[in-house]
Amino acid sequence: MTAWPTPPSPPANRLNSQAARLAQALEQRRGVVERGQALASRVHRLQGFLDLVGTGVATFDIAFPVRFLEMPAMTSGFSLADGEVVDVFSMPSVSIGVASWKLLRPIATVTYWVGATLAITVTGRNAQKLTAHWQAEGKCLRGPTTDSTGSVDGEL
């Protein structure tokens, strides 16, 4: 009795070669994207100032003149106005944090940080005058149109 011939199988070398070429093409594409982002991005620091009178709580919206590729690190501080005195029983303090981020998602896999809503708390004397400042620092996509978002007068 004669045995039936086994059907020919696809050449393993050809399939492995195609898979290797596909993996190599995907890796090259990922490298192109990463190099493009590295060339188009840089670490940048933005800053803004708020002239405040008195104590209280408030929110303040800011729009960044750049698109951050990652959540920027936020820092803040304050300085008392000229002529203001420090009362040891009512020490001044300013707390600034991010209440929410303004995000831009042009496609599902890309997120840009384009602004924030700041939550601000000021303690101290009721009529004290001070300047609060904030800084946002991180990797951004392009250079800013200005070096800061400017100074804004406000009362709490």
Amino acid at 64: F
Cα–Cα dist 68/144, whole Å: 11
At 93-127, the pLDDT tens digits run 999 999 999 999 988 888 999 999 999 999 999 88
Parse the chain into domains and list their residue ranges. Answer: 11-40, 42-153
pLDDT in tens, 125-141: 988 999 999 999 999 87
Rounded to the nearest 5 degrees, what angle is found at the Cα of 95, between the Cα atoms of 91 and 100?
165
pLDDT in tens, 33-75: 566 555 567 888 999 999 999 999 999 999 999 899 999 999 9
Return the CATH number of 42-153, one of 1.10.3470, 3.40.50, 2.60.120, 2.60.40: 2.60.40
Residue 97, number of CB atoms within 10 A of its CB: 13
